Amino acid sequence: MSVSPNRQRLRDIENTGFGPNSSVEGGRLINSDGSTNLKKRGIPIWERTSVYHTLIRMKPRHFFFFVLLWYTSINLIFALIYFLTGVEHLVGGDQAQTYFDKFMEAFFFSSQTLTTVGYGRVAPSGMLTNSIASIESLVGILIFAVMTGLIYGRFSRPRAYLLFSPNILVSPYKDGKALMLRVATYKNNHLTDVDAQLTLAMHVNEDGKIVTRFYPLKLEIQKVNSLALSWTIVHAINEESPLYNYTQEDVVNTKMEVIVIIKAFDDHFSNTVQQRTSYTYQQLIYGARFLPMFNRAADGEYTLLELDKINALEMVSFPENAHHHNGAKA
């Protein structure tokens, strides 16, 4: 699709961090979890990967699996060393008869040494075995110190804990239409001074070349004092909107993507937190509106916010004057 007169008069932004050349882009710009849809190469993986950032941001189940894998691997390595050195040098473990039993004695002695538990049933004998056990104890102290720091870092890392609606809607709004999405906090944290920024990415045809243009989306309310309940973020599609006169077909042809950035102050962390996501044209539902997701509790003592209704919606029809007001077709 070529550039419409409305977008020609609107000023796009160039400081998004993404280039205008659409031919080098692969898929969406921002993933739903807020990460950049980007892979780097050209230097070895150990140079382009930060182990600390990877472990801090790793999903809990992956982090637990990683810790378990490292713990088991180190024990296996030292158990093999003890086994090759000779299990007869482990006093109390030399009663094992089969190779498997001998290896398991070495393995469990290694786990007791690594964790500095030392039950005392099995003990090293001889200079070589004692030296290996001393080295393993040092390795265990260092590893557990690192793991303790990582676990603390994962728990103490400031996060916004925001839940975004899976879909973005084009809904009736006043006498026209508006782009809407919904957000809420899903933890028992409290966010204040919550600021929302929406950026529209569109692939347009300029002189026979497909380029990516970025436009800021003006919001009905850009900042709220407190995010106690849910917040429906609204961008009115009027003459000032880059989506003015756009049809559903146009949205698909331009591969529209809406990048959302939420910044807020968390009074528990006493720090500014941020979370972002994006919506592609496949996640856009035309002619729908969100249903309420909070109501008064049955006993009337408190307000109930139902987080499972973050994407609760119903299909609606637009008023007849909405098409004329926005100059857009359904």
Query: What does 202-237 look like in DSSP terms, one character per residue?
Result: EEEEETTEEEEEEEEEP-S--EEEE-SS-EEEEEE-
CA distance linking residue 80 with residue 23, whole number of Å: 53
Say if pTM beats, i.e. exceeds, 0.85: no
Listing DSSP states for 29-63 in one string gives SB-TTS-BS----SS-HHHH--HHHHHHHS-HHHH
Nearest one of 162, 196, 210 to 307, comparing CA atoms? 162
- Alpha carbons within 13 A on the beta-carbon side of 29: 27
User: What CA–CA distances, in Å, run from 34 to 30, 162, 261, 278?
Assistant: 6, 11, 9, 7
The alpha carbons of the chain give a radius of gyration, in whole angstroms, of 29
pLDDT, tens digit only, all 330 positions of the chain: 455 555 555 666 666 666 666 555 667 788 888 887 777 778 887 788 888 888 988 889 999 999 999 999 999 999 999 989 888 888 886 677 888 888 898 899 899 999 888 787 888 888 998 999 999 999 999 999 999 999 998 888 888 899 999 999 999 998 889 999 999 999 888 899 999 999 999 888 777 787 888 899 999 999 999 998 899 999 999 988 999 888 888 888 888 999 999 999 998 888 899 999 999 999 999 999 999 998 888 888 888 989 999 999 999 987 765 544 444 443
Under DSSP, is residue 149 helix (H, G, I), strand (E, B) or coil? Answer: helix
CA distance linking residue 293 with residue 306, whole number of Å: 5
For the chain, domains (ranges, CATH) are 5-38+160-326 (2.60.40.1400), 46-156 (1.10.287.70)
- Are 207 and 165 in contact by the 8 Å Cβ rule? The answer is no
- Are 139 and 110 in contact by the 8 Å Cβ rule? The answer is no
